[in-house]
Structure 1
Amino acid sequence: MVEVEDDSGRSGFADAHISPGSSAETREGGWAFLLRHAKAAIGRDVSDVMADLLLDFEESKVATTSFVTALEVLRKHPMLVLSHDSAHPLLAPVNSLEAREIEEELDIAIATGFQTFKVKVGKDVDADLARVAVIQRATAGKATLRLDANRAYSRAQALEFVQGLNPDGIELFEQPCEADEWEANGAVATASPVPLMLDEPICTLQDIARAGEMPGVGYCKLKLKRFGGLDRLRDGMDAVRAHGMHPVLGDGLGSETHAWLEACVARQTLDNAGEFNGFLKPQSRLFENPLPFDQGTITLPAGYWPKLDLPTVERLTVDTVTFR
């Protein structure tokens, strides 16, 4: 989490989550990056600080995003200023493994308003196909599914999976192979009966353009934390459509702060279920005025602006460094 204040008393905050293993970034590296740039920012113009951060974007994308976005919050970026109410549906994960438990879980989730579900695969092809089939039967005519291998399949396994897949009710298949295995993911996309979505490789406009040239890739998943700020994320969402694909947005590991930021971008750029549902998973919420959520939907009322619950933030904080 980064908090900033300028010489007129305006303040802003943002955060982002470095997920070990999903990229070359480390939490230690991100922390060191922020300390270096925070110290260098003192007494300088906001625009110059943002420019310097983005010059080092490749060093630590997530850390850069947390700092740049905190400055965009300080400036009250237009995408965050809500002139009218807006609502955006979220997806929900399917956690159960056994058929009866799956049916019970989905019945409850559908009754509480969810209409899109994420199904994790990537462990065992036969078991994954069997579980997906159970979930398809339980959601038939009621909800849409997104399958996510989370980079866990080899090329051969992913091809076997899509060749055995019934496409009924499935919106997309996400990231079957490792992020840097563009050729393997492309082969799976060509063979798949449902559109493929790339996730971890998508960090720049160049990545989006490359994905747009791959037959069978119909979706790109964007996350604020990989794009360096609100403006750059909006540009990415526009670029996905310009290259003939559909954007999906959201970090399922993001905090309440990150969900608010992504939801504000989504209201102008997204027409499907958001994946910015990470704030529903921890026991603690970060805002005094919690992000409004009901019936599977984030509803942002006109004028909504979050305020940090400082005692909760302090309780959850493991280290703090302040530069003045």
Structure 2
Amino acid sequence: MKIRDLTLYRVDIPLHVPYVTKLQPQGIKSIDTFVCEVHDEDGRTGVGDATILPGYTHETLDGGWKFCLEHGERLVGMDTEEAKKSLDPYRVSDAHAVSALQVAIEMMEGNALFDLPDEDVEVPILGAVNTKVLEEIPDEVNRLIEKGHRTLKVKVGWEPAADLNRLEIIQKANAGRADLRVDANQGFSREDGIKFATGLHPDGEIQLFEQPCQKEDWDSNAAVAAVSNVPVMMDESIYDINDVERAGEMDGCGFVKLKISKLTGVDLLKQGLDRIRELGMTPVLGNGAASDVGCYVESCVARHTIDNAGENNGYLKNREHLFKELLPFRNGSIVLSKNFCPELDHDTVNRLKIDEARFAPVQA
């Protein structure tokens, strides 16, 4: 199978509400996303995407887009296996950009991970408790649970005492109805991370404490994990299997989260998730800042590999969607249907696009 043509879109997708973390205290109001669409000689199509958030990775938006342009043009006319192999040297340095290209190719190839059964499959995803207004917390928690979410995520990483106080209010409102995941997004120093982690009162509700310290600072993350009252989950520090292996050696690390944009392909993502389990940890999957394209791709992998709530809920935060069909959501889950067609809505893409490039063989 050869790549007949390849089109790249850079789109700006607006969010319903700003995405606020310690790394982005002013809030992200839209996500700058790369989308790759490929076709073969028989008209088969594949779509991939990637969203680079500044501060979450060493990659940059302009660098990622430049990579897509340079390598997208080069891939046209190649056999798909040759094309994927040619991306191998860049899977850590330019993971997000590689992922957008490779996933599109894998979907076009008809990778078995995209095969869906005749009956609908529900892939559970978590809900996020976003409000910082303490009086609003009970209503937000109730709304999320009424939507069917059985796992909730809470962002922390600002100041340990205030974070613990807000978390306690969330726990009281939750009253054991859902598991809680607590995510610092690299926001704590070692000292504050230890203070927060040892102040947690899990009571069976708090499932994990995610990425306490800066992604490069493995020693500080390990120091927090060693004393935390709940297992730590590594996220931003993880880029490839070597990082998974390193997390497996960390006392107190019980979970590792992977994303398609880090592992750069659906087969590689499945291998990484399987390896986490082999090392005695629990794999978690999903990107909370992504388009419906990425959320669909991760759901297709999750149904084969994951037995807990996915974090690929990003598309529910977006005001615009890239597929022609809305990716169904029901009872706290993404619904995968055999009849769902992962086809781009080009009208929406064109309305949201910042840039575009199409590569096809030069006609004689």
Q: TM bucket by the smaller chain?
A: over 0.9
For the 8 Å contact 2:92–2:239, the answer to whether it is kept is no
Letter in 2 for 1:86: V
Richer in strand (by share): 2
The correspondence for 1:265, drawn from 295, 301, 312, is 301
Give the aligned partner of residue 80 of structure 1.
114
The answer (yes or no) to whether the contact 2:189–2:213 under 8 Å persists in 1 is: yes
- Where does residue 129 of structure 2 map in the other structure? 94
The sequence identity of aligned pairs, in percent, is 43
1:54 to 88, 113, 126: 88
TM-score (norm 2): 0.87
Post-superposition offset of 1:110: 1.0
User: TM-score, structure 1 length as denominator?
Assistant: 0.98
Task: Tell me the CA shift for residue 254 of structure 1.
Answer: 1.0
For residue 41 of structure 1, report the CA deviation from its aligned partner. 1.3
Moved more, 228-237 or 101-110: 101-110
Runs of 5+ unmatched residues, structure 1:
none
For 1:43 and 1:170, the matched residues in 2 are separated by 50
Once residues 75 and 111 of structure 1 are traced to their aligned partners in structure 2, the CA distance between those partners, rounded to angstroms, is: 39
Q: Counterpart of 1:27?
A: 61
Hey, what does 1:12 align to over in structure 2?
46
* Per-residue deviation, residues 287-309 of structure 1 (Å, max 9, x unmatched): 22211102211111234332211
* Distance in 2 separating the partners of 1:258 and 1:306: 11
User: Is contact 2:92–2:240 with CA below 8 Å preserved after alignment?
Assistant: no
- 2:212 aligned residue: 176
The more displaced of 44-53 and 231-240 is 44-53
Q: Give the equivalent residue in structure 2 for 1:119.
A: 154
- Structure 1 partner of 2:290: 254
**Cα contact 1:162–1:193 (8 A) shared by 2:** yes
Q: How do 1:1-324 residues align onto structure 2 when only pairs under 5 Å count? A: 1-84=35-118, 85-168=120-203, 169-324=205-360
Query: Which runs of no fewer than 5 residues in structure 2 stay unpaired?
Result: 1-34
- The residue type paired with residue 300 of structure 2 is C
Q: Contact conserved, 1:198 with 1:221, CA < 8 A, in 2?
A: yes
- Report the 3-state secondary structure (helix = DSSP H, G, I; strand = E; otherwise coil) of the residue aligned with 1:4: strand
* AA partner of residue 193 (structure 1): N
3-state SS of 1:262 partner: helix
2:84 is aligned with what amino acid? M
**Quick one: distance in 1 between partners of 2:271 and 2:49?**
20
How many angstroms apart in 2 are the aligned matches of 1:200 and 1:97?
24
Equivalent position SS for 2:225: helix
Q: What one-letter code is carried by the residue in structure 2 that aligns with 1:83?
A: P
Alpha-carbon RMSD across the aligned residues, in angstroms, is: 1.0
- Counterpart code for 1:300: L
The number of equivalent residue pairs is: 324
For each residue in 1:22-59, what CA deviation from the matched residue of structure 2 results, as whole angstroms up to 9, or x when unmatched? 11100111111111111211222111111101222233
